[in-house]
Amino acid sequence: MKKLLKIPSTWTPIWIIAILMLCMISIYLPVFGSTSPRLTDFPLIIVDEDEGVSSFITGKEIADHLIKKQDGHTFSWKVAANKEAAIQELKNNQAYGALVIPTDYSKEIIELRDALITGKTEVKPAHLELLINEGGGRTTTMIATNALETLVTTASTTISGHLKEELIHNNSQLSPQNAILLANPIQYTLTNALGLPERTNNGMTPFMIVLITSISGIMGVNMINGYLKTSSAGIKSNGYPLRKTDVMSTSMLLGVLLSALVAAVLQIAIFGVFGSSHSTSIWLIFLFTFLCCLTMHFQFKMISLFLGKWGMLVMFPINILGIFSSGGAVPIATLPFIHHFFSNFLPARYMVDGLRVMLYYNGRIQAGLGVALFIILVYFVIFFGICLVVAYRVHRQELAKR
């Protein structure tokens, strides 16, 4: 043992893995390092249907001023013509939430002001409506809800201050009921625009499917390679040597079968056993999941063909980076720059997007399914094509040696 420990190459796996883990911690720990992550272009919608004129804060003033105070490279606000258009945007997964200012907003503010001054008690607060795209996942929903609630609270506080000044100027007396109304002159209703059923697993189902797909890909490639290497060595020892091309072809065939099996088991477990909700056909979801499994498998297969035994050192960080950058567990808008950057190139992000559309957005092409499907297909063709090219070159080399 002492002689082995004196050989420098014996220590190579130790320091390589240590350096790799240090790099990964430095990259991934910042994702969870802040209790209030900085958002980047988080998409929200505002709808101003207010037709009245008020001496306080109108719908236009909310849109023009209060939003700017929250903006600053944080939120990306889109203006929709009406509530129906905003709902359609949310159903197409173009934004995570919307603030709807109704047509009678200013009128309600004026009625509230007059009631407080005259002492009337039969009056209601002004009303706003918040629409939430609950298909984006639990974290995304919380961020959108908090942002829109903050906007409403700011408007309510500002109007409350104006009303207090006018009441003091007029020496008006308030009943206990009106005092409560003065403290909260604006209220809101919160509506889930998609109307999803309860069994959505907080929108985490797409992420879990991609996570399992990715893990099965990296494990499948390495286990298939290992067992085929052992099996081919045993066959060779019995006097029946196998061509390297046969081993490679067998490994790719087993990869396809494994991908189909993983995709099928996922459908049975998620929709059969746990009864998770879905808005499109299970068969279509199965085909999309099968494509994702194939893409992940041949991505790692390609790496193993080029790097051999060192492939795991590349597969593992790519796998983790893809999962972190997918936007499945943590919204992409909250990720550090490096994850935001790689999310545009690694296939896991598009797999999560595609599955999310199929599960929660009725498989709408305009909701992102078209882009996700195209990019995943391109990745699959590239990965599978490279594996075929390598196998063909090996085949030619074997023929040349005969």
Using alpha carbons, select from 152, 145, 129, 313 the residue that is nearest to residue 218.
313
pLDDT tens over the chain, length 402 residues = 565 556 666 566 666 666 766 766 666 666 555 545 566 778 899 998 887 665 555 556 666 555 555 544 478 888 898 999 999 999 999 999 999 989 888 888 888 888 777 777 677 888 999 999 988 888 888 889 988 998 888 888 888 888 788 777 777 777 777 777 778 888 899 999 988 887 788 888 999 999 999 999 999 998 988 888 888 777 767 767 778 888 888 899 999 999 999 999 999 999 988 888 888 999 999 999 999 999 999 999 999 999 887 888 888 888 888 888 888 877 887 777 777 788 888 999 999 999 999 999 998 998 899 999 999 999 999 999 999 999 999 888 888 876
| pLDDT for position 64 | 59
| pLDDT for position 296 | 96
How far from chain centre, in Å, is Cα 49? 31
Q: What is the pLDDT of residues 288-345, one digit of tens each?
A: 999 999 999 999 999 999 988 788 888 888 888 888 888 887 788 777 777 778 888 8
| pLDDT for position 184 | 85
Four-CA torsion 237, 241, 245, 246, nearest 10 degrees? -80
| pLDDT for position 255 | 93
Four-CA torsion 344, 346, 352, 354, nearest 10 degrees? 70
Query: DSSP character for 79?
Result: E
Question: CA–CA separation, 185 vs 170, rounded Å?
Answer: 19
User: Which three-class secondary structure state does DSSP give residue 22?
Assistant: helix
Using alpha carbons, select from 241, 123, 235 the residue that is nearest to residue 182.
123
Q: Which amino acid makes up residue 330?
A: V
- Asked if 313 contacts 20 with a C-beta cutoff of 8 angstroms, the reply is yes
